[in-house]
Amino acid sequence: MKTISQSFGEPALQHAARTHVPGLSASASLALGKDFLWGAATAAFQIEGAANEDGRGPSIWDTFSHTPGKTVNGDNGDVACDHYHRWAGDVDMIKDLGVGAYRFSIAWPRVQPLGYGAWNDKGLDFYDRLVDRLLEKGIQPHATLYHWDLPQGLQDLGGWGSRTTAHHFAHYADVMSRRLGDRLASLATHNEPWCTAVLGHAIGKFAPGAADPVLATQVSHHLLLSHGLALSAMRASGAKCPLGIVLNQSSTTPASGSAEDIALARREYASFVRWYMDPIFKGSYPQDAGLELFPEVQTGDMDIISAPLDFLGVNYYTRIWASAAQPAVPAPCSLGKSDMGWEIHPDGLRELLVGLNAQYTLPPIYITENGMANADRIEHGEIDDTPRIDYVRAHLEAIAQACSAGVDVRGYFYWSLMDNYEWDSGYDKRFGLIHVDYATQQRTFKRSAHWYRDVALAAVTKTEA
């Protein structure tokens, strides 16, 4: 049994037995190209733990997850994967996975506890060390500034419902780009602003738990404004790395050819995809998103929001199935569902990418998240997650088809590197290539990790040949 020793605790990585499974088709490998970037992704709150250590302030997710009834089993992120202590060994683990890039997020309350005012040197030093070790191991660091963990200090002042938060975010972005930007391969402002706005403020499923659709619409505007202000601030101070944003997106399929289903599909696409894409790439909000009340937009906001991007990150998990019938006609789910209950529909990714390429003038695209929750179990020291392999292979084939159709996709980051805290689902759902035993913090390569490693290394070998 191969292990990797870590600087904290017992040796924490195991490799399950390897069984050969087919990689990608020759046509997909060719379409993805020799310079295609292979990576894996995480988010700070989901893996770091150390919630009350070294000067870190509380985030809205600390508050939310400690509120009874908000998460499965009352799970919180106090320890998570203990990455804050195990970061060095985790980077070694990424190297062992064979990927060339790692996408992570910076915990705003770890580096600036209140979201304004004093900075925390110990938090800043943590990300310095992480980035340096990634580079030492030949792994590109791709950072995201905001992955949902707003400092509670800012929430107490109105959170994303306050326009002032957008300006605090721009200052935070500027400081972090000055600190890390000369060593990062890319820096994204936000991860999935739709989730912050809708899940966090319209339906209360995510932190901060508001259920106010009008507020959510204004929050969406402040998020986009903060993105534009951050780009402006970082470029004004000479940001040295490519800058972009990460959006969760889906293709939309009407359940039938009825006018009602087609109209619903168009509204769903407008509210989910175009509500964020149109302001960034066209300088306006779509008028057909089904909203009765649009956000308050000040003069000049759209010019700020529509600043050019160096890259666009696209997160895709499933399509939107639009049925106006009562009760709704269920999606066919011919390839089954993930453990999240989401339809597995890889062709939706091809359809999405080709559609975006036709509708907008786009910068290079990275698939910054794509993955599958599976009910993984360790049996005889092994984790056979073949459904995850099938999921990833099918989505990579879909990306290859999009590339063949002219879409400029430069890389793929599997979600997630390892099992972690899955927000309101707690620790009940496992997305990782690497299994985490939360009681011991032992990491074990799943079958999918070996498969993904073989695919990534085969691509590198082909490049070097």
Helical residues (DSSP H) of 270-323, grouped into ranges: 275-282, 301-305
Burial 252-288 (b: 16+ CB within 10 A, else e): bbbbeeeeebeebbbbbbbbbbbbbbbbbbeeebbee
pLDDT band at 21 (very low <50, low <70, confident <90, very high): confident
Residues acting as catalytic residues: 192, 369
Angle, CA 203 vertex, CA 198 and CA 208 arms, to 5°: 80
pLDDT value, residue 94? 98
pLDDT digits (tens, 9 = 90+) for 254-300: 999 999 999 999 999 999 999 999 999 999 999 999 888 899 999 99
Model confidence at 22, pLDDT cuts 50, 70, 90, reads confident
Q: What is the pLDDT of residues 124-152, one digit of tens each?
A: 999 999 999 999 999 999 999 999 999 99
Q: Distance between CA atoms of 126 and 54, rounded to whole angstroms? A: 10
CA separation (Å) from 379 to 2, 178, 432, 444, 445?
18, 47, 17, 12, 13
Q: What percent of the chain has pLDDT over 70?
A: 94
Q: Please, are residues 342 and 319 in contact by the beta-carbon 8 Å criterion?
A: no
Taking CA 281 as the corner, what is the angle to CA 277 and CA 284, rounded to the nearest 5 degrees?
A: 80
For 346-391, what is each residue's pLDDT tens digit?
Answer: 999 999 999 999 999 999 999 999 999 999 999 998 999 999 999 9
Taking only the tens place, the pLDDT of each residue in 23-68 is 899 889 888 988 999 999 999 999 999 999 999 999 999 999 999 9
Domain formed by 16-464, architecture: Alpha-Beta Barrel (3.20)
Task: Provide the percentage of residues in the chain whose pLDDT is more than 90.
Answer: 90
Confidence of residue 2 (pLDDT cuts 50, 70, 90): very low
For the stretch 298-315, pLDDT in tens is: 999 999 999 999 999 999
Whether pTM exceeds 0.75: yes
Mean pLDDT over residues 108-118, rounded?
A: 98
What pLDDT, on a 0 to 100 scale, did the predictor assign at position 1?
A: 25
Which tokens in the block code for residue 63? 């508050």
Alpha helix (H) residue ranges in 98-120: 108-111
User: In this predicted structure, what is the pLDDT of residue 17?
Assistant: 52
Band of pLDDT at residue 13, cut at 50, 70 and 90:
low
The rounded mean pLDDT for the chain is: 94
- pLDDT for position 462: 62
Output the CA angle 280-404-31, nearest 5 degrees. 110
